[in-house]
Structure 1
Amino acid sequence: MLLQRCITILTRKKKVDNSDQTKLARVLSLFDLTALGVGSTLGLGVYILAGSVAKNHSGPAACLSFFIAAVASAVAGLCYAEFASRVPRAGSAYVYSYVTVGEFAAFIIGWNLILEYVIGTASLARGLSDYIDALANNTMSHALQGAMPINANFLSSYPDFLSLLFIALLTGMYDIQNIIKLSIIILPDPANWKIAQEDIPPQFNETAGDGGFMPFGVAGVIGGAAKCFYAFVGFDTVATTADEAKNPRRNIPLAIIMALFISFLVYFGISTVLTMAWPYYDQDTKAPFPYLFEQVGYIAVKWIVTIGAIFALSTSLIGAMFPLPRVVYAMASDGLIFRRFSNVNSRTKTPMFATIISGILAGIMAVLFDVDQLVEMMSIGTLLAYTIVAVCVLILR
């Protein structure tokens, strides 16, 4: 009897309310949702990951790695789009698993999403801090590493308080910053896609592979695609806004697909131009754009583009922060965590308490971990969330 009761509780499913009633304000149009999706998706992939993948994994074939990752993300995006049209409620994968599988699975996925969004916010804040530090010739990192070193392999080498400041202060400027973000493109030279192995400088021989378009072979392209998959994380942010969207059944699926398509075009173009403009083996893995313009002698352009990149990364930072309190709000509304987190501010019509606590958690992560560690942690949680949503689509059908 007790076992039967436990099974009933664990598999209890959420009753779907398809009405338009919500405590949050329905103010987001299709354009707003698409801009949110693009702002959440474009970030480290453009300004940091493209250089890292080109240098360490794919070479000039980084554009193919982004293409493969885009195809995989599109399949996941279609699953989210189908659920968004069937279950237009805030909570993303948490709500979808609650409706389809039951309360226990939803509880696990909900906490997984919270961790994913906390880590995603922290990684973007850390990347933004690295970009600003690069403009100052790494003065901040050297000073903090000397004054407050952290001697632990699983943590950053120094506490990054600037990233904490960004999380605390930034506010949403999606539309303006996305326009700046999409305008940053450079000087191509196709010869850099055909560099022969004998033309590679001796100091890069051990790390540059065999030269040419695919210096690390097909395995390098696939390995790069696995890392590029992180670049498309963020489109599911749109699904968390169902309680704030106008006509969510129509606009959320369209916004997810449009955001993924726009993001792919930008990633493909950026990785193509970056590897054409400068040899893949000499890319900077932390701030490739400032390094690129410094090498070609365009110092003024370096500052213009890097400032644009800072605005763009701040957009992605806000996009990463945006869904986190919504997932917390959805879980609290269902009673799976403290009800206090479901309180909606009467003036702003947003879950204020959940937002503040979420920002504190993300700030702590940004201070203590560096970008590579955060990216690796986030990829596991993202893969689990996408897998659960795909399985739930099969169950639903």
Structure 2
Amino acid sequence: MTDAEPAHLRRSLGLVPLIVFGLSYMAVATVFTTYGIVNQLTDGHLALSYVVALIVMLFTASSYGAMVRKFPVAGSAYTYTQQSFGGVAGFLTGWILMLDYLFIPMINFMILGLYMGTQFPSVPTWVFMLTCLLAVLLFNVLGIKLVNRVNITIIAVTIAVITVFAFLAIKTAVADPNAPGLIDPFIPGAEGFSPVLTGAAVLALSFLGFDAVSTLSEEAKDPRKNIPLAIMLTTLIGGGVFIVISWLGARAFYLDDWSTASEDLLNAPGVVLAEHVGGQVLVTAFLVMVVIGCFGSGLAGQVAVSRIIYAMGRDGILPKPFAHIWARYGTPVVAAVTVSIFALSSMFLSLDQAAFMISFGALGAFSMVNLSVIKVYLFPKGERRPAGAWPIIRYGLVPLIGLVLTIWLWTSLEPLTWAVGGVWLLLGVAILVAKTHFFRRPVPTLDFSEDPSTEAIDAMADEVPFDGPGGSGTAGRTAPTPPVG
């Protein structure tokens, strides 16, 4: 691309590919990823934690849909907060959001390495991780259409294996007179709802697929219609699968005391469950599903975070090279390579550390998106507040409930997670202070008030800072139309 041409992504995705992308990012088989960790936290009440998490996520998914209708562009929660509360809040939200997006590809590489290590113990796990990482980078650079074709294959294989697992799990539970009752997995234990909430907070990472869908707004056809619908359907379908599979697993394989769970059950629970209900044949099929599922989720994760980094580079918050688009494939190649380099740290972290940090970043961003709906729709700048009861309910009460529930889960995370997350946030503040010379310079932001059409959004280009005290930067369109303050 030449300097005179604005950076933009290609619109090529309809409703079905968007849903497939979201489900692939979710990796419906991810229920086995945190199966051991959350069952240990909740003493076997994983299914109930998923129900709580789904309820919270539906409110937040509704808020994402509302914001996409206003700002159908790449950037997700970063863009929505930026447009609602300004550049400082936008940057810090994007910075927190990057925490979970950077860890998503990483955790998939870790899971793949752990599962492959159970079958090939003589091969170092980092070999499997690095191979997957390089393959994901290659597919990401080659373009979103290729990513979509890969995702369709992955979803098909995953559905097939999970269907077989469900059938065998039902058969195992029916044949076992000591299996828990039908509703037992949904009844809190002796410690009440507190462990369930902690588990639900961790499971927030399972629902990041709907947030990932919003990052493709600039590559979607009719984004104001298709993106919100894809967000809700991805959340409902994925959440339903999580609840059913965790319920079946609780009935087919259970422990009296999850604190005594083995390392294999915590790190590679899918292999243990598959062997218990279906023997070595199902273990083999499960490993195939895990490998391609981790590849697909890691691929979708890298696609999503590279779009966020691209958007922040385009705004001038991050260095401009991050907004570079490879003209041949229409992909943000510099951002993609950066994510891959960060993902190399998967070779040094543990699975539970990565899972907790993903949830911290996700819940922080979800909170700001809920707040943004209230600000944009009920307190629009320079516009009349909408009249009637429906706007108050849809854009006030619903996101407020989502905000309260999200903060409830957020504060249920372990103290160490908050400590690490706080350090990450302080690092973001330091970058922001340096970028703005102690806030003496404006924070660059995008401005969409001039023309809300997707065509105008596609034409957004380089940062043009405003002058004057209290001003904020903007990314306006190229001449002859000047940016609007």
> Is the TM-score greater than 0.5?
yes
Structure 1: distance between partners of 2:317 and 2:197:
39
2:33 to 28, 43, 48: 48
Structure 2: distance between partners of 1:264 and 1:34:
13
> What is the identity, as a one-letter code, of the residue corresponding to 2:307?
R
> What is the identity, as a one-letter code, of the residue corresponding to 1:218?
G
Structure 2: distance between partners of 1:38 and 1:104:
32
Structure 1: distance between partners of 2:16 and 2:151:
11
1:271 to 237, 243, 246: 246
Map 1:251-330 onto structure 2 (within 5 A): 251-280=226-255, 281=258, 284-296=265-277, 298-330=279-311
CA RMSD of aligned residues (A): 2.4
**Greater mean deviation of Cα atoms: 110-119 or 75-84:** 110-119
> What is the identity, as a one-letter code, of the residue corresponding to 1:228?
L
Whether the 8 Å CA contact 1:58–1:216 is kept in 2: the answer is: no
The Cα of 1:99 is off from its aligned counterpart by 0.8
> What is the identity, as a one-letter code, of the residue corresponding to 1:253?
P
Map 1:182-193 onto structure 2 (within 5 A): 182-183=159-160, 184=162, 185-186=165-166, 187-188=169-170, 189=173, 191=177, 193=179
1:101 to 85, 91, 114: 85
Q: Deviation digits for residues 59-100 of structure 1, max 9, x if unmatched? A: 1x3211101101111111111110011111110011111111
Q: Which runs of 5+ in 1 are unaligned?
A: 1-20, 145-159, 196-209
Give the 3 Å change call, closer, same or farther, for CA 237–44 of structure 1 in structure 2. Answer: same
Structure 2: distance between partners of 1:212 and 1:338:
49
Aligned to 2:382: none
Q: Deviation digits for residues 345-370 of structure 1, max 9, x if unmatched? A: 111011111111221112x2212212
Q: Deviation digits for residues 202-249 of structure 1, max 9, x if unmatched? A: xxxxxxxx9996555433333322222222123201111111111100
Whether the 8 Å CA contact 2:25–2:209 is kept in 1: the answer is: yes
Aligned to 1:31: 16
Aligned to 2:135: 169
Secondary structure (helix, strand or coil) at the match of 1:346 reads coil
Secondary structure (helix, strand or coil) at the match of 1:35 reads helix
2:348 to 368, 371, 386: 368
Secondary structure (helix, strand or coil) at the match of 1:379 reads helix
Whether the 8 Å CA contact 1:182–1:266 is kept in 2: the answer is: no
> What is the identity, as a one-letter code, of the residue corresponding to 1:339?
K
Whether the 8 Å CA contact 2:180–2:250 is kept in 1: the answer is: no
Structure 2: distance between partners of 1:211 and 1:33:
32
Structure 2: distance between partners of 1:296 and 1:388:
43
> What is the identity, as a one-letter code, of the residue corresponding to 2:31?
V
Identity over aligned pairs, percent = 26
Aligned to 2:113: 129
Secondary structure (helix, strand or coil) at the match of 1:266 reads helix
Structure 2: distance between partners of 1:71 and 1:329:
31
Structure 1: distance between partners of 2:252 and 2:365:
37
Structure 2: distance between partners of 1:182 and 1:265:
13
Structure 1: distance between partners of 2:278 and 2:231:
39
Whether the 8 Å CA contact 1:107–1:336 is kept in 2: the answer is: yes
Aligned to 1:395: 375
Whether the 8 Å CA contact 1:47–1:309 is kept in 2: the answer is: no
Give the 3 Å change call, closer, same or farther, for CA 81–261 of structure 1 in structure 2. Answer: same
The Cα of 1:193 is off from its aligned counterpart by 4.3
Q: Deviation digits for residues 9-60 of structure 1, max 9, x if unmatched? A: xxxxxxxxxxxx972111111111111111111257322212332344141x
Aligned to 1:227: 202
Whether the 8 Å CA contact 2:11–2:221 is kept in 1: the answer is: yes
> What is the identity, as a one-letter code, of the residue corresponding to 2:92?
I
Structure 2: distance between partners of 1:271 and 1:79:
27
Structure 2: distance between partners of 1:289 and 1:308:
10
Q: Which has the higher contact order (CA 8 A, sep 6+)?
A: 1
2:99 to 112, 115, 137: 115
Q: Deviation digits for residues 102-161 of structure 1, max 9, x if unmatched? A: 01111212222222211121111101111111223x4446xx7xxxxxxxxxxxxxxx34
Q: Deviation digits for residues 154-205 of structure 1, max 9, x if unmatched? A: xxxxxx343232111133310110121123133220545438xxxxxxxxxx
Secondary structure (helix, strand or coil) at the match of 2:215 reads helix
1:341 to 322, 331, 335: 322
Give the 3 Å change call, closer, same or farther, for CA 377–22 of structure 1 in structure 2. Answer: same
Whether the 8 Å CA contact 2:100–2:362 is kept in 1: the answer is: yes
Whether the 8 Å CA contact 1:58–1:214 is kept in 2: the answer is: no
